[in-house]
């Protein structure tokens, strides 16, 4: 069995609490991009509302242990935060005990990349990541695709499985799904939904921008997690289905891509809608107080509760720009454009296109900047949009 699992067994990871010792919590931190590489000296923090946070460091084997956190092992409302220089911060909702998490190196090569990291629990043994677009399918038997790669594959529980999208191709749809390979020929199983403890972490630039956990009580051996639209906008799909043949997962996903288009249909309660509005307002207050990191965290929490919160995405894009997180700003503004509706839709879209243009201009990507300044002007007349167009044409030597 692989070294990760051997470590987990030797340290009690993934075993019942009776085998761990009363009230103790252990987690292991690995690299998301180098197979079985443990991460030493990472800062691991447990947080719970109303309680002082608990901090520790990972040992050489990547493990951190906490004795009796918060007076006991009640994981309700507890968040795990992992920080390490050169890696994006990881934030995950507990339960966390006995699980392995992977941290992603900061992505700096281009503005249109993305990294997707899948972690899960002891069962099932083998979950697989699949990323498709019309000309490629990246998964365990085809690890290198068109500007996308499966960096890490795992078949013995916990993960990670990591796919890196080096650069999104313009005008191309993408779809990401998780397949329960262990039960690939089982119909109607709820293992992936109810048992797996699966978490999908999506990274853009230097940031963790979205986290997905499967909804409970869903039958199916394929979890279609999210899609990326023609213009780079993000869609929360989060649906389950069965594929009877393990070899047909890619065909099924390609069929979805060639359909009418993606739709976000998140399962959001009225309480979550209200909470998202509250968090967005708190984010705006933090932004105006120049507490930008706090504002980003609040906007992301608003989006986690209501993934179709257009104003939170628009606000998030602006906050990311102020923090010079260009890739993240592009991601947020593209979703704000897709969500804009009502009488102010053109204004919101024009502003977001303008923000995207400025990001590209700051990176000396003149053609991309020009395209987005023109898109902004197409939505609304504004002298700043015309000025941007003229500047980019001068840079490109166009009349």
pLDDT digits (tens, 9 = 90+) for 319-364: 999 999 999 999 999 999 999 988 989 998 999 999 999 999 999 9
The pLDDT value recorded for residue 39 is 97
Task: Give domain 107-267's CATH architecture.
Answer: Sandwich (2.60)
| Mean pLDDT confidence for 75-92 | 90
The reply to whether domains 1-104 and 107-267 share a CATH topology is: no
Strand order, beta sheet including 24-31: 63-67, 24-31, 100-103
Decide if pLDDT at 5 tops 60.
no
Query: Would you state the pLDDT for residue 13?
Result: 36
- How many angstroms separate the Cα of 363 from the Cα of each of 182, 325, 366? 45, 12, 8
Residues 6+ apart with CB under 8 A from 353: 333, 337, 372, 373, 375, 376, 379
Q: Six-digit token pair at 106?
A: 């900061």
Query: Domain 1-104, what architecture?
Result: Sandwich (2.60)
Domain boundaries, the chain: 1-104, 107-267, 270-396
18 confidence band (pLDDT: 50, 70, 90) = very low
The burial class, CB within 10 Å (0-12 / 13-18 / 19+), for 131 is buried
Q: What is the pLDDT of residues 377-389, one digit of tens each?
A: 999 999 999 999 9
Distance CA 302, CA 255 (A): 32
Q: Say which range, 2-16, 236-250, 306-320, has the weakest mean pLDDT.
A: 2-16
Rounded to 10°, the helix 270-288/292-305 angle is 170
Architecture per CATH, 270-396: Alpha Horseshoe (1.25)
pLDDT tens figures, 41-71: 999 999 988 788 899 999 999 999 988 777 6
Percent of the chain with pLDDT over 70: 93
Q: How high is the mean pLDDT of the chain? A: 90
């Amino acid at each position: 069995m692989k070294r990760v699992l051997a470590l987990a067994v030797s340290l009690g990871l993934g075993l019942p609490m009776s085998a761990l010792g009363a009230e103790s919590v252990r987690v292991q931190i690995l690299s998301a991009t180098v197979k079985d590489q443990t991460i030493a000296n990472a800062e691991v923090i447990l947080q719970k509302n109303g309680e002082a946070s608990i901090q520790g460091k990972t040992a050489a084997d990547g493990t951190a242990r906490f004795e009796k956190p918060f007076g006991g092992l009640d994981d309700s409302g507890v968040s795990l935060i992992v920080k390490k220089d050169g890696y994006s911060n990881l934030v995950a909702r507990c339960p966390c005990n006995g699980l392995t998490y992977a941290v992603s190196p900061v992505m700096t090569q281009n503005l249109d990349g993305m990294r997707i990291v899948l972690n899960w629990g002891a069962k099932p043994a083998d979950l697989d990541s699949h990323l498709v677009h019309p000309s490629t399918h990246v998964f365990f038997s085809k690890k290198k695709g068109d500007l996308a790669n499966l960096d890490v594959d795992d078949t013995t529980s916990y993960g990670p499985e990591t796919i890196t999208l080096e650069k999104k191709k313009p005008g191309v749809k993408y779809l990401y799904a998780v397949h329960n390979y262990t039960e690939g020929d089982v119909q109607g199983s709820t293992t992936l939904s109810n048992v797996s403890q699966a978490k999908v972490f999506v990274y853009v630039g230097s940031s963790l921008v979205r986290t997905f956990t499967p909804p409970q009580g869903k039958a199916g051996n394929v979890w279609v997690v999210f899609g990326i639209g023609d213009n780079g906008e993000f869609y929360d799909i989060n649906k389950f289905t069965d594929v009877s043949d393990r070899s047909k997962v890619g065909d099924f996903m390609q069929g979805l891509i060639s359909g009418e288009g993606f739709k976000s249909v998140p399962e959001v309660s009225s309480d979550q809608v209200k909470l998202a509005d509250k968090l967005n307002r708190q984010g705006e207050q933090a932004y105006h107080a120049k507490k930008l990191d706090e504002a980003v965290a609040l906007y992301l929490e608003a989006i986690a509760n209501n993934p179709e919160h257009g104003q939170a995405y628009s606000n998030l894009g602006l906050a990311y720009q102020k923090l010079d997180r260009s890739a993240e700003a592009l991601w947020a503004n593209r979703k704000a454009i897709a969500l804009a509706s009502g009488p102010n839709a053109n204004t919101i879209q024009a502003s977001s296109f303008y923000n995207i243009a400025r990001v590209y201009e700051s990176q000396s990507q003149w053609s991309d900047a020009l395209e987005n300044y023109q898109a902004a002007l197409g939505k609304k007349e504004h002298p700043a949009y015309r000025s941007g167009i003229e500047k980019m044409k001068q840079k490109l030597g166009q009349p």
